[in-house]
Amino acid sequence: MAATYNQLPSVISERPGFARRAARAIAHDWLALFGLVIIAVVVVAALIGPLLAPSPGDGAGVINVDERMLPPSLAYPFGTDWLGRDMLTRVILGARIALQVSLIVVGLAILIGVPLGAIAGYRRGWLDGLIMRITDLFLAFPPLLLAMAIVAALGPGLQNATLALVVSWWPWYARLARGLAVSLREWPFVDASRAMGIRESSIILRHIVPNSLGPIVVQATIDIGTVILAAGGLAFIGLGARPPAPDWGLMVAEGRQYILEQWWLSTFPGLAIFFTVLAFNLVGDLLLRLLDPRQED
């Protein structure tokens, strides 16, 4: 799992011209631009994939026996598989599965983890101790091991895999949110607000939350990529999406037995995973630099 971003956040509202700085940073950094372009491609593929793909039927198990195992060519840029299905289509359709899973996992993990962590960090006391003990327990398992055990208990499938990943991921956000809350509550203006008798909920909403957004957004961006990796891994060993779904990890596994001759069966889905994750990591890196002045070179 990628390292968690846990440094003190800068106050977003104090930095004028965020959009301008962002534009300047992107223009200077071709890698980040590259990442953004790839994300755009993946998002488009996820949203309107079925409209763009050359043979949309191939995602749902259409069999085309005459066109089996064709290497990449003009007609079939990514080749065809053992059932004659167009690999390009399947890879495009896989984008939707990948993004859906990762957005659900990251979204739910934030929805569960951040409030818990924020309350724990802000209130301190026994609530803090309790919540932290629970997150420690979940984090005591090596990444993915808990997810695998859960899927093993519940049975393989995309939904169970997603659930297992949510259960594995929320503690990271709880811990991140708690760390932020703990440091933010010591900030002078929070202290001053408390001294002036401002209501706690108001403090949390107007000060704590906006200043926490930065690190959480950075972590979430990177995590979208990491979840795609994890989901891909689970699918690879047979714990995720079931055939004939065009899941990238599943496709890599299915193509493995033919790897030495029909290399394109595993390669293109694998590259799809790689470039997507790379893109999210690059953009996450960019956001990291934008939000924390200390990280700037």
Partner 1 sequence: MIRFLLRRLTSSLFVLAGVSVITFWLARLIPSDVAAIYIGPRARPEQIERVREQLGLNEGLITQYLVYMRDMLAGDWGSSIATKRPVLDEILLRLPATLELIVAAMLIALPVGLVLGMLSARWQGRPIDMGVRIVSIVGVSLPAFFLGLLLQILFFRSLDVLPLSGRVDSDLRFVSPIDTVTGVYIVDAAVTGNWSALRDVAWHLILPAITLAAYPIGLISRMTRSAMLESLGKDYIRMARAYGLRERYIVSRLALRNAMVPVLTVIGLTLAYLLTGTFFVEIVFNWPGLGTFAVRSILATDYPAIMGIALFGAAAYVVINLVVDLAQAWVDPRIRLT
What is the C-alpha separation between 233 and 280, in angstroms, rounded? 17
Task: Answer yes or no whether residue 148 interacts with partner 1 by CB under 8 A.
Answer: yes
Q: Which of 8, 27, 63, 149 binds partner 1 (CB under 8 A)?
A: 149
Least Å distance between CB 8 and partner 1? 12
DSSP-derived secondary structure letter, 5: -
Window 243 to 282, contacts with partner 1 (CB under 8 A): 249, 252-253, 256, 259-260, 263, 266-267, 270-271, 273-274, 277-278, 281-282
> Which 3 state secondary structure label does DSSP give 56?
helix
What is the C-alpha separation between 268 and 5, in angstroms, rounded? 31
Contacts with 190 (C-beta within 8 Å, 6 or more apart), sequence order? 184, 203, 207, 208
Least Å distance between CB 294 and partner 1? 8
* Cβ atoms < 10 Å from Cβ of 111: 13
Window 186 to 245, contacts with partner 1 (CB under 8 A): 225, 229, 232-233, 236-239
For partner 1, give the closer residue by CB, 25 or 31: 31
Looking at residue 1, its amino acid is M
What is the C-alpha separation between 295 and 57, in angstroms, rounded? 48
Contacts with 22 (C-beta within 8 Å, 6 or more apart), sequence order? 290
- Burial (CB count within 10 angstroms: exposed 0-12, middle 13-18, buried 19+), residue 139: middle
Least Å distance between CB 124 and partner 1? 17
For partner 1, give the closer residue by CB, 125 or 142: 142
Least Å distance between CB 209 and partner 1? 26
Least Å distance between CB 48 and partner 1? 25
Window 65 to 124, contacts with partner 1 (CB under 8 A): none
For partner 1, give the closer residue by CB, 154 or 198: 154
For partner 1, give the closer residue by CB, 80 or 226: 226
Contacts with 216 (C-beta within 8 Å, 6 or more apart), sequence order? 110, 114, 173, 176, 177, 180
Least Å distance between CB 155 and partner 1? 8
Residues that bind partner 1 (CB under 8 A): 1-3, 31, 133, 136-138, 140-146, 148-155, 225, 229, 232-233, 236-239, 249, 252-253, 256, 259-260, 263, 266-267, 270-271, 273-274, 277-278, 281-282, 285, 294-295, 297
